[in-house]
Amino acid sequence: MVNQAQNLSPQLMMYRESLSNLPDLNIPQGYELRSFCPGDEKWWERIINVTFQYQSDFKKEILMQQQFKPERIKFICCNNIPIATATAWEKDDYGKEIGYLHMVGVLPEHSGKKLGYYVSLAALYQMAKEGKKSAVLHTDDFRIPAIKTYWNLGFKPVLVHENQIERWKNISLILNMPEIFEKLTKNMVM
């Protein structure tokens, strides 16, 4: 089993080669989707602090970054309070045509309802709206619910270091999904 303390490096990468065929976005009953509004900083930090277990700073990590646009920060709300988030980011490393799925979290009291899937999907729709062609993300071996969520969204694993062959094999075993390991490719052009 992979635990958080192992802190395996480099991070795992997953890639969705097209944003032209996204599945329907059906937010579960009782929840609403929206983008960032002023005042949401504290809600974003609450979600990230709890789910990533560090002291986040929306201003430093998101607001002050040149990529920031309110519509890139997606929230799923319950009674208008954000309880899940994902960000449609970009990174210089990947250029303007490839979106970067960033900072995905769902408060534990709302987990198990695929809200991570839907809030990430909303971020992918945002990327597509901006004209991006594909999407990439980084994750960690111990983030099994996240990896399953990204797989369900059509992301496939990309090998960025030889040590990840064993790591992806292990994740496939944990999820009992040999197809994940079978889809492991060496680069983002598939």
- State the number of binding residues for ligand COA (CB under 6 A): 21
Q: Which H or E run contains 121?
A: helix 115-129
Q: Does 121 bind ligand COA (CB under 6 A)?
A: no
CB of 177 to ligand COA, least distance (A): 9
Residue type (1 letter), 59: K
Q: Does 105 bind ligand COA (CB under 6 A)?
A: yes
Q: Say if residue 110 is exposed, middle or buried (CB neighbours under 10 Å; 0-12, 13-18, 19+).
A: middle
Q: Which one among 123, 127, 128, 146 touches ligand COA, defined by CB under 6 A? A: 146
Q: Say if residue 35 is exposed, middle or buried (CB neighbours under 10 Å; 0-12, 13-18, 19+).
A: middle
Q: Which one among 56, 134, 139, 164 touches ligand COA, defined by CB under 6 A? A: 139
Q: Does 46 bind ligand COA (CB under 6 A)?
A: no
Q: Does 134 bind ligand COA (CB under 6 A)?
A: no
Cβ atoms < 10 Å from Cβ of 78: 15
- Contact positions with ligand COA (CB under 6 A) in 148-177: 148-149, 152, 175
CA angle at 77 for the pair 67 and 127, rounded to the nearest 5° = 30
The token duo for 4 is 């958080």
Place of tokens 């997606």: 74
Residue type (1 letter), 116: G
CB of 104 to ligand COA, least distance (A): 4
CA-CA distances (angstroms) from residue 167 to 46, 139, 156? 31, 12, 14
Q: Which one among 114, 133, 169, 183 touches ligand COA, defined by CB under 6 A? A: 114
Q: Does 82 bind ligand COA (CB under 6 A)?
A: no
Q: Does 51 bind ligand COA (CB under 6 A)?
A: yes
CB of 49 to ligand COA, least distance (A): 11
Q: Which one among 35, 49, 67, 111 touches ligand COA, defined by CB under 6 A? A: 111
Helix, strand or coil, per DSSP, at residue 113 = coil
Give residue number: closest CB to ligand COA: 116
Q: Which residues bind ligand COA (CB under 6 A)?
A: 51-52, 104-106, 111-117, 139, 143-146, 148-149, 152, 175
